[in-house]
């Protein structure tokens, strides 16, 4: 992907392409926007692309993709009005209303978490004004994180910016994997007591019968 963009490194079209990639990644998380952003940020240490324009394109793409995902979630939720799905939707709505900023910000840094949290925000009808504020904060934080990784790598290896981009990508991958592992362990720890309680109740019921 980066090889395709390198000939356009000094072209204004580069920022439009980056904007489109980050936008699409928010709806269909199959576009490697993280890799592209980190790599281009590393190259910016040599003067091109322009770091400010790149940051603006990434942040704008983040907010645009979030808005599309939110609207898709809201449209799908209109079909859920009764049953267990409606109950689950109500619980999710309460959680997002209470922890919306934290949930959306954390989701931005998890694999596929961005699309999941923004779609759910729409499906539970989180107020659009609140969602847009949370989305903007998350987009700016993610942009600073990704561009910072790439730029630091590029600055440290100014003579070999591609090596800096590769190191930035490696650091980002390690941090992302570590975060995902910690979240998985936290989820397992939270669900552990509930599982033990359910097992105990089942055992008591069997003894009683």
Three-state SS sequence of 46-96: HCCCCHHHHHHHHHHHHHHHHHHHHHHHHHHHCCCCCCHHHHHHHHHHHHH
> Averaged over 48-65, what is the pLDDT?
92
Instruction: Give the global pTM.
Output: 0.71
CB 67 within 8 A of CB 132: yes
Please report, for the chain, how many H helices and E strands are present, in that order: 8, 0
- pLDDT, tens digit (0-9, with 9 covering 90-100), for 156-185: 555 555 565 566 556 655 655 565 565 566
The number of beta carbons lying within 10 Å of the beta carbon of residue 158 is: 11
The region that residue 11 occupies, defined by phi over 0 for left and psi between -120 and 50 for alpha, beta otherwise, is beta
Confidence of residue 42 (pLDDT cuts 50, 70, 90): confident
Range from 60-64, 117-121, 165-169 carrying the lowest mean pLDDT: 165-169
Q: What is the mean pLDDT of residues 21-35?
A: 84
* pLDDT at site 53: 93
Mean pLDDT of 33-44: 82
User: Which two three-digit tokens encode residue 202?
Assistant: 């089942």
**Mean of the per-residue pLDDT values of the chain:** 74
Give the start-to-end residue ranges of the domains of the chain: 2-173
């Amino acid at each position: 992907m980066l090889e395709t963009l390198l000939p356009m490194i000094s072209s204004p079209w580069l920022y439009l392409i980056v904007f489109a990639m980050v936008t699409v990644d928010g709806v269909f998380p199959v576009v490697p926007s993280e890799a592209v952003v980190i790599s281009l940020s590393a190259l910016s240490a040599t003067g091109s692309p322009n770091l400010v324009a790149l940051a603006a394109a990434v942040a704008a793409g983040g907010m645009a993709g979030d808005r599309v995902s939110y609207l898709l979630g809201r449209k799908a939720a209109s079909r859920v009005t009764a049953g267990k799905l409606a109950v689950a939707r109500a619980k999710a709505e309460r959680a997002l209303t209470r922890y919306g900023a934290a949930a959306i910000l954390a989701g931005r840094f998890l694999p596929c978490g961005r699309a999941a949290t923004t779609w759910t925000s729409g499906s539970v009808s989180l107020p659009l004004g609140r969602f847009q504020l949370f989305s903007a904060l998350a987009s700016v934080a993610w942009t600073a994180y990704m561009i910072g990784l790439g730029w630091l790598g590029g600055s440290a290896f100014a003579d070999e910016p591609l090596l800096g981009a590769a190191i930035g990508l490696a650091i980002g991958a390690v941090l992302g994997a570590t975060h995902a592992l910690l979240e998985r362990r936290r989820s397992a720890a939270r669900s552990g007591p509930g599982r033990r309680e359910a097992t105990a109740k089942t055992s008591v019921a069997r003894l009683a019968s």
